[in-house]
Amino acid sequence: MHSEDGDLWESFAHYVTKADGTVNLTQDHSVGGSYLGYEPMGLFVNLQPAPGEREGLRLRKRNVETPYEVLLSLLEGHVSLSKGQSSELAAVTTERWYMAPGVKRIDVRQDGIVGTLFLPPGPGPFPAMLDLWGLGGGLVEYRSALLASKGYASLSLAYFNHQDLPGPKKRLNVGDSYCKAAFQLLQDHHQVCADRVGIIGLSFGVLLALRIATRTGLRPSCLICVNGPVGSSFKIPDDDDDDDGSSEETEG
pLDDT digits (tens, 9 = 90+) for 114-138: 999 999 999 989 999 999 999 888 9
Nearest of 151, 98, 103, 156 to residue 126 by alpha carbon: 151
- Higher pLDDT among residues 61 and 249, named by residue: 61
Q: Residue 234 — very low, low, confident or very high, per pLDDT cuts 50/70/90?
A: low
What's the confidence (pLDDT) of residue 242?
42
Could you tell me the residue ranges of all domains in the chain? 1-97, 104-226
Residue 193 CB partners (closer than 8 Å, separation 6+): 124, 125, 126, 127, 128
Ranking 53-57, 61-65, 224-228 by mean pLDDT, the lowest is 53-57
Domain 104-226 = CATH 3.40.50.300: no
Question: Is the model's pLDDT at 240 over the cut of 60?
Answer: no
Nearest of 129, 131, 5, 125 to residue 60 by alpha carbon: 5
CB-neighbour burial class of residue 103 (10 A; exposed 0-12, middle 13-18, buried 19+): buried
Amino acid at 6: G
Question: Is the model's pLDDT at 247 over the cut of 50?
Answer: no
Ranking 148-152, 199-203, 215-219 by mean pLDDT, the lowest is 215-219
What's the confidence (pLDDT) of residue 136?
86
Q: What single-letter DSSP state applies at residue 96?
A: E
- 201 three-class SS: strand
Nearest of 61, 79, 237 to residue 144 by alpha carbon: 61
Question: Is the model's pLDDT at 73 over the cut of 70?
Answer: yes
Mean model confidence pLDDT for the chain: 88
Question: Is the model's pLDDT at 232 over the cut of 90?
Answer: no
Q: How many CB atoms lie within 10 A of CB 129?
A: 26
Q: What is the mean pLDDT of residues 129-156?
A: 95
Q: Residue 249 — very low, low, confident or very high, per pLDDT cuts 50/70/90?
A: very low
Question: Which stretch of DSSP H or E encloses residue 154?
Answer: strand 153-157
- Tell me, which fold does domain 1-97 have in CATH? Immunoglobulin-like (2.60.40)
pTM for this entry = 0.83
What's the confidence (pLDDT) of residue 250?
40
Q: How many CB atoms lie within 10 A of CB 142?
A: 17
Contact 218, 180 (CB under 8 A): yes
What's the confidence (pLDDT) of residue 239?
58
Angle at 11 between CA 8 and CA 14, to 5 degrees: 150
What's the confidence (pLDDT) of residue 144?
97
Q: What is the mean pLDDT of residues 162-182?
A: 86
Residue % of the chain over a pLDDT of 70: 88
